Chain A
Amino acid sequence: MEAEPQSCIELLSTSVEATLAWAESLGRLLGPGAVIALDGDLGAGKTTFARGLCAGLGVTEPVHSPSYTLMHSYSGRLEVYHFDAWMEGREAAFLDGGGVEWLFGEGVSVIEWARRVEDYMPSERLEIEFLHLKAPAIDDDGHPIGDPIRGIRVRARGQAYLELVTQLTDPKSLPNGLRRAEEADRLPPARSSGSLRESPDSVNRGSDGPLEAPERLI
């Protein structure tokens, strides 16, 4: 089978506001049936990004982590389905039990920990991975000190997403605080999202190296 066209672009964010603004601009561009697969460590910014994306889609309700309830749905310009595959076995059972219809439906689907349920993902999708480049310092009141530096790896799978990514990552249109990563700040290899199902003893917890070799990046 011919592989879907894909591209991977790396960004560097030094501002949470810039990442949010960028997520909003993505939200404004999405059409019915769009699928956004989010990955990255605990606390790397997946839910925050989903919040920005929802704002761009015109969702006015508060957006919270859907870990506990598997999926939240919101109404904006389009219906938004916010999934969380943190507990992959549970999410797989949910998708098997009919949840997958939302994933292939007319709304916009946002899936956190998407690699854990990769088998259920449509072949055309936008993958966004968040990487902490520096351990965030947090003050005693729980607020980050300064702006944490995050890497954002964007991979388009399918022609439609390729065009979207080209438009979104055009250096001229990126908000202040977000820029294309250069050779000098080559991001570390992707972390796997870990697997709870294959390793109930929690040995495989995001430490098993690159999923994609860097030379496949363009």
Chain B
Amino acid sequence: MTIEHSVITDTAQGKLILGIESSCDETAASVVRGGTEILSSIIHSQAEEHAQFGGVVPEIAGRSHLREVHRVIREALREAKVSPAELAGVAVTVRPGLIGSLLVGLSAAKGFALRHRLPLIPVHHIHAHVWAATMELTTEAFPAIALVVSGGHTALYRAESPREFTPLAQTLDDAAGEAFDKVAWILGLAYPGGPSISKLAEEGDPSAFRFPRYRPKALPNSKELGLERPLGFSFSGLKTSVLYHVRGQDALADTPAPSDIPRRADVAASFQEAVVDALVNQAVEAASREGLDRIFVAGGVACNKRLREKMTAAAIAAGKTAIFPSPAYCSDNAAMIAGLGWPLYEAGATSDLTLDASPR
């Protein structure tokens, strides 16, 4: 026992964590020192395997993870020049995600942990995305507002620490990324919609058309009760507005073929502007109400250039700072998992082999 204990102490001094991510369609492994120093980050993207279906197919994702996960782990260790004996622990995404995909990464992590006598560190995928935004900070990161915005999530949190997230608002209907996908379809642009709309929008005028920026309604009697307007997102009405815009506001008209839509770039730019404004408005409002100075923006939509520009400017105007991960770490990766793994390990948030995964 004494020997084993001293081994753990030694490896803890190295602060090296292996991270494994497999929640959706990227199989990834990474070694990170002390939460922020990325020694390797290997990502196998399955994008090509899913492209023919126009989106991620869980069965195909699960099988592909199974094929790639061990190779990706080996490569992450080799590139980092780290041997399993030097690791302090294995961090692994356990939620949320496609359950079949999560289980592949979790099983690989369990096997690795068992063989090398390492503690398992369960990681929440969303918290890890937020951690990605903090990795280049040299100052104290928390508490902060976190806006997580992707194809499947659009939510605001008050993040007290890397692992304490209080939800402040989430979308009533579609995620922001989903609205991008559906409007891209209306405009005849490729899936995923975020990058293709963003590209077309560069040629368009964002103020050409006025699309709605959703804000929740004030509660009845809110003035008398001294209540603030609730925070929230909704992108379904915006999507419908774009649909009826291209139909000339005629509900019974057919949706025109993309090539027949006038000023398509202006529609794309005006739509993107509405999404960005809604996100910026609610995030800055949340930061003001919570009295917090930092706004972390994470998830795939955090790659959006217009969001980065406008959020940064609005935060500065409000005396706050908006912080984004480097574009390379906005989409799914394991560096954010291994990174967040370290503060969790330090806090003793480790698990034994009974660890389970959850889709939500």
Which of A's residues lie within 8 Å of B, judged by CB? 41-43, 47-48, 62, 64-65, 67-70, 86-87, 89-90, 93-94, 96-98, 132-136, 138-144, 188, 196, 201-203, 205-207
Residues on the B chain within 8 Å of A93, using CB? 53, 57, 59-60
Tell me the number of A-to-B contacts counted with CB atoms below 8 Å: 124
Bound together, the chains give a CA A196 to CA B181 distance in angstroms of 13
- B252 close to A (CB within 8 Å): yes
CB within 8 Å for A134 and B251 given contacts A94-B58, A139-B212: yes
B58 touches A141 (CB 8 A): no
The interface residues of chain A lying within 8 Å CB-to-CB of B191 are 87
User: Would you list 11 pairs from A and B whose C-beta atoms are within 8 A, ordered by A residue?
Assistant: A43-B239, A64-B172, A68-B178, A87-B191, A90-B56, A90-B57, A93-B53, A97-B59, A138-B212, A138-B240, A196-B54
Min distance, Cβ B311 to any Cβ of chain A, angstroms: 19
Q: Which of B57, B170, B188 touches A202 (beta carbons < 8 Å)?
A: B188
Contact B175–A68 (Cβ < 8 Å): yes
In the complex the two chains form, is B243's CB within 8 Å of A90's CB?
A: no
Q: Which of B185-239 contact A (CB under 8 A)?
A: 185-186, 188, 191, 210, 212-215, 217, 234, 236-239
Contacting residue for A138 out of B56, B173, B241, CB 8 A: B241
CB distance from B252 to the nearest CB of A (A): 5
Chain A hits for B178, CB < 8 A: 65, 67-68
Q: Is the CB of B254 within 8 A of A207?
A: yes
Residue-by-residue, is B54-68 near A (CB-CB < 8 Å gives 1, otherwise 0)?
A: 111111100000000
**Chain B residue nearest in CB terms to A203:** B257
Q: Indicate which residue in A67, A68, A89, A202 contacts B258 across the interface (CB closer than 8 Å).
A: A202
Asked whether B83 is an interface residue with its Cβ less than 8 Å from the other chain, the reply is: no
With a cutoff of 8 Å between Cβ atoms, the chain B residues found around residue A136 in the complex are 237, 240, 244, 251
Q: Is the CB of A41 within 8 A of B185?
A: no
**B152:A69 contact, CB within 8 angstroms:** yes
A188 CB contacts on chain B under 8 angstroms: 252
**Does B249 lie at the interface of the complex (its beta carbon under 8 Å from any beta carbon of A)?**
yes
Given known contacts A143-B212, A143-B217, what 9 new A-B pairs fall within 8 Å (CB)?
A43-B236, A87-B53, A134-B251, A138-B212, A138-B240, A142-B213, A142-B238, A201-B188, A207-B255
The CA-CA distance from A24 to B220 in the complex, in Å, is: 25
Contact A135 to B247, CB < 8 A, known contacts A94-B57, A98-B59: yes
Kindly list chain B residues whose C-beta atoms are within 8 Å of the C-beta of A67: 174, 178, 181-182
In the bound complex, residues from chain B placing their C-beta under 8 Å from that of A64 are: 171-175
- Residues in A whose Cβ lies below 8 Å from that of B257: 202-203, 205
Q: Which residues of A contact B243 (CB under 8 A)?
A: 41-43
A65: contacting residue among B174, B244, B258, CB under 8 A: B174
Assess the A68–B151 pair: CB atoms within 8 A. Answer: yes
A-B pairs with the 9 shortest C-beta distances? A43-B240, A142-B214, A97-B59, A207-B254, A142-B212, A68-B152, A90-B55, A132-B251, A90-B53
Known interface pairs A42-B243, A89-B53, A142-B237; A47-B214 also in contact (CB < 8 Å): no
